[in-house]
A and B are shown apart, each in its own frame.
Chain A
Amino acid sequence: MSLQSLIDDDSTLIMVGSYEQNRYTSTATVIALYMLEDDDLPVEMSYVPPAPQSGMTLTEIDARFEDGAALYTWFYEGLNQIFFNSNLTTLSLEGSLNQDPITLHPEINAFIAKYSNGWSGGRINWLRDDPDQASGRTGLSFSGADTVANINPLLGVDSYRSNTATYSYDQIYTKDTLPMDLVTTLGTISSDPPDVTGQLSPGNVAKFGVRNWLYSGVKLYQVGPGFLVRKSFLLSGLGGWLAQLYDPANALQSSS
């Protein structure tokens, strides 16, 4: 007697299941319990009950036999259809600070014009006093003998803390919806991810500088019948990624 005929004959003592949905996938189990009255009951690995939800695929079978009973469990995995149909993404953002030379500051030319008397030996010769006499900072003179009120706020500054960030997001696809440019656009300046938080909006340029994102990595994992894709992006320093190297119109194009 086969497993199929047992089910057809309604000889199964109990057939239950579970269904769970997480952000990306749905998982389900079908559990069947049989009493084994016949020593010749064949144990079939090829029999699989229909998946509880269309689009789910079998990932594992586990059958245990104890005290004349057989407990079969079939495990299925599918895509979270709500998440998939809505093209939803899950983002993560990590921001931190780099120690950058002050010469990379977007206002460096203005700083030099106003707060220095030029440069020499690779260093900017910062003035001692604040030209506006409004810094509100007090410090020592170059000789150390005097206290200077309203000292130049940039005196002694040769670096500053510049922000950087990595951004990644997850999205699920079927074989047919997987983007064709998943890998080909890698290493290019990207408008993806969309500026979801407005961090790079023109209104923020004054505070944030001109920056953009480099599409820096992608990982693809098979989940059930589809794929989980994680794309990563790297925030540029001030001035943006070098367009000559990373602009999609320039990057990786043959010069011949």
Chain B
Amino acid sequence: MPTPLKVIGTLPDPRLERFFVQLPGKATLIFVAERIDATSDDIPAIPPSAQTGLLTDWVQIRQWATKRDGWYEIRWLYEAGLQEMPYAPNDTRSAADRNFQYRMEASLYQAPLTSHPNIKNFLCTYGGYMDQGQLVFPPWDPTGTSARAGFDQQGNYYGNINPFYGVDTFLSPQATLTRTYMTAGNELPTDQLYGLGYIDTPPDLPFVVTNPAASKTDNWLKSEAPAYQHGNDLEIDEGWESGGIGGWQRLIYALPVANS
């Protein structure tokens, strides 16, 4: 069971109005009090009922609003991050599965045909060559097996045109993966930023996501690292992008080895 978090908050004035807890572990408490003809001196900094029960890492936000007939409504909103999201006793998932939220999207993008791992075979089989940095295939089909028809640039018709004639891109897969969790304190995890832009392995995935292009599980680029404060704690998002064909270029994206 998670460590119980308790507040004493039912005194009539100020009184606890509401608390709520949301994934991945954001807790919020609201105390409210009313004063008539209040001045700023009359507005207590901390609700007395909250002083003894709140943990030290809660952060308070005070709001007040005027109501009719000179009444003021004062609200104290406390925020904190729960390191462990409360869970039902019949929830059998592991702590890691409970406390991390995952999202993944994958799609296709236009990649240069020259980056295809089989490009050498394509060139050999279909008569392709490089001309001043441009990939060129002849309009005729050296294999004689194409069932496609078309014209070449000079307007000559081919009943069996080279399937690679005019092709200079192909659809290559890419994927993005994000996970969200809460972390204690308002200090970022030590690896939150330094790995950004470098090849990384998304940790503790609840499912297997092999990099679609590189067929390597370790060839992801850490691409996102936003953090949002909730109370004194942080909601951490981490994002990774899969590499293109062949994976991320290690020459460019490998994490540098620190000099000792």
Contact A62 B86 (CB under 8 A): no
Rounded to whole angstroms, the CA-CA distance of A250 and B119 in the bound complex is: 11
Rounded to whole angstroms, the CA-CA distance of A118 and B107 in the bound complex is: 42
Contact pick for B19, options A45, A47, A50, CB 8 Å: A45
User: Would you give the shortest CB distance from B105 to chain A, in whole angstroms?
Assistant: 5
Rounded to whole angstroms, the CA-CA distance of A59 and B151 in the bound complex is: 60
**B148, closest chain A residue (CB):** A239
A residues less than 8 Å from B212 (CB atoms): 183-187, 252
Contact pick for A244, options B98, B122, B211, CB 8 Å: B122
B residues less than 8 Å from A250 (CB atoms): 118
Binds B, one of A5-13, A34-42, A190-198: A34-42
Say yes or no for B23: interface residue by CB 8 A criterion. Answer: yes
Contact pick for B93, options A70, A186, A219, A225, CB 8 Å: A225
- A239-B148, A245-B116 known; A39+B11 contact, CB < 8 A: yes
Against A, the Cβ 8 Å flags (1 = close, 0 = not) of B104-127 are 111110000000111111100010
Say yes or no for A46: interface residue by CB 8 A criterion. Answer: yes
Against A, the Cβ 8 Å flags (1 = close, 0 = not) of B143-179 are 0000111110011110100011001001111010000
Rounded to whole angstroms, the CA-CA distance of A221 and B3 in the bound complex is: 29
Contact pick for A49, options B27, B88, B97, B122, CB 8 Å: B88
**B89, closest chain A residue (CB):** A50
User: Would you give the shortest CB distance from A226 to chain B, in whole angstroms?
Assistant: 10
- What number of A residues sit within 8 Å (CB to CB) of B? 73
Rounded to whole angstroms, the CA-CA distance of A64 and B9 in the bound complex is: 12
User: Would you give the shortest CB distance from A243 to chain B, in whole angstroms?
Assistant: 8
Rounded to whole angstroms, the CA-CA distance of A182 and B177 in the bound complex is: 13
- A60-B21, A65-B15, A250-B118 known; A178+B171 contact, CB < 8 A: no
Contact B98 A42 (CB under 8 A): no
Contact B4 A187 (CB under 8 A): no
Contact A184 B88 (CB under 8 A): no
Say yes or no for B253: interface residue by CB 8 A criterion. Answer: no
User: Would you give the shortest CB distance from A56 to chain B, in whole angstroms?
Assistant: 7
User: Would you give the shortest CB distance from A189 to chain B, in whole angstroms?
Assistant: 11
Contact A253 B117 (CB under 8 A): yes
Rounded to whole angstroms, the CA-CA distance of A63 and B108 in the bound complex is: 45
B residues less than 8 Å from A213 (CB atoms): none
Contact A57 B88 (CB under 8 A): yes
Say yes or no for B82: interface residue by CB 8 A criterion. Answer: yes
Contact A124 B157 (CB under 8 A): yes
B residues less than 8 Å from A141 (CB atoms): none
Contact B89 A59 (CB under 8 A): no
Say yes or no for A255: interface residue by CB 8 A criterion. Answer: yes
Say yes or no for A51: interface residue by CB 8 A criterion. Answer: yes
Say yes or no for A32: interface residue by CB 8 A criterion. Answer: no
Say yes or no for B188: interface residue by CB 8 A criterion. Answer: no
Rounded to whole angstroms, the CA-CA distance of A16 and B22 in the bound complex is: 21
**B122, closest chain A residue (CB):** A244
24 contacts between A and B (CB under 8 A): A40-B8, A43-B29, A45-B19, A49-B88, A58-B88, A65-B10, A76-B88, A104-B150, A112-B159, A119-B155, A175-B207, A182-B207, A182-B209, A184-B215, A186-B107, A187-B108, A187-B171, A187-B172, A217-B106, A219-B106, A220-B103, A244-B163, A253-B118, A255-B117
B binding-site residues for A, Cβ under 8 Å? 1-11, 15-23, 27, 29, 53, 82, 85-91, 93, 97-98, 101-108, 116-122, 126, 147-151, 154-157, 159, 163-164, 167, 170-173, 175, 206-213, 215, 242, 245
Enumerate the 7 nearest inter-chain pairs by beta-carbon distance, A residue then B residue, closest first: A122-B155, A186-B173, A220-B104, A51-B88, A61-B21, A187-B173, A217-B107
A binding-site residues for B, Cβ under 8 Å? 36, 38-51, 54, 56-66, 70, 74, 76, 101, 103-104, 108-109, 112, 118-124, 175, 178, 180, 182-187, 214, 216-222, 225, 227, 239, 242, 244-246, 250, 252-256
